[in-house]
Amino acid sequence: MLRCAILDDYQNVALSIADWSPLEGEVETTVFNDYLPDHAARVAALKDFDLIVAMRERTRFDAALLKELPRLRLLVTTGMYNASIDMAAAEEQGIVVCGTGGIPAPPAELAWGMILSFARNLPQEFADFRAGAKWQPRMSLDLAGRRLGIIGFGKLGSRVAKVGTAFNMDVVAWSRSLTDEKAEEEGISRAATLEWLLETSDFVTIHLPLNPSTRGLIGARELRLMKPTAFLINTSRGPIVDESALMEALNEHRLGGAGLDVFSQEPLPPDHPLRTTDRLLGTPHIGFVTEGGYRVFYGEAVEDIQAWLKGAPVRRVAARK
């Protein structure tokens, strides 16, 4: 009997949201609901498993860890890309890495939740309502006519843009691959430079993958370009934004606010300064955590394991160049 570890199932739904019965008799599953915090804990917990199902990039599989998992033969990641896996080391050890599909809408929906929260002061209004505070103590912002700046214009950026245009916002986007023709087709404007987008937008939302060219893309210089009334939203990857520079800008009231669903360190420690930073709306990386998304993730993870058992792996993940 092969042993399979299902990692980081924080909501404890992996075995109920997908049908694992096709693996009965061949694979024994063990679910880990809590995060394995360090190298030693991961080795101790995982060294006797043949298969591992990893949830996104929650657990890092670097060369040092893979080296100490001698039985590991199949590593399934939810999604088709995982920057936390050392693909070269996996290949060297003969570990097959497979992925799954996903649903592109949820992170875009969360971005809009944050935009609307800032525009209508929802966190403050909820708190005041429960506390029985003064009735209608503040005004909200109209979205119509405001400029929405979208950094990155793939599937997520395009979805965010459609909602912005529905709200009659002035939608502009910046991407290295975005053309004037594509922008016109989408009913938006192409920002010639990232700097211009930052300088002129009322809301800026990030929808980029993390790679060497995007790491630290929004730093102290870029934040100083933004309006003091502007809002920055990041539901992509934490390291795209320099968190120290962002904290400084927020604490000095040089930004209207920031919404973060992603962080350089996850889970974010309970005493992390970001948890108390003024004008920050934070959520615990829930952009992809939806029922529909999880059905795809775990359902296709089962398919990946079945295919591997038959000697014909599907959805193999290759290293990105």
Map tokens 């909200």 to a residue. 140
Which residues of 51-127 form beta strands (DSSP E)?
Answer: 51-54, 74-77, 96-98
Edge-first strand listing for the sheet containing 2-6: 27-31, 2-6, 51-54, 74-77, 96-98
Q: State whether residue 284 is helix, strand or coil.
A: coil
Q: Which of 199, 266, 272, 315 is catalytic?
A: 266
| 237 is an active site residue | yes
Residue of 222, 237, 243, 300 marked active site: 237
Candidates 303, 308, 290; CA nearest to 20 is: 303
Tell me, yes or no, if 253 is annotated catalytic.
no
Cα(39)–Cα(50) distance, integer angstroms:
18
Q: Please say whether the beta carbons of 241 and 77 come within 8 A.
A: no
End-to-end alpha carbon distance in the chain: 36
176 labelled catalytic: no
Strand partners, 61: 85
One of 58, 159, 190, 285 is an active-site residue; which one?
Answer: 285
99: DSSP letter: -
Q: How far apart are CA 82 and CA 55, in angstroms?
A: 9
Catalytic residues: 237, 266, 285
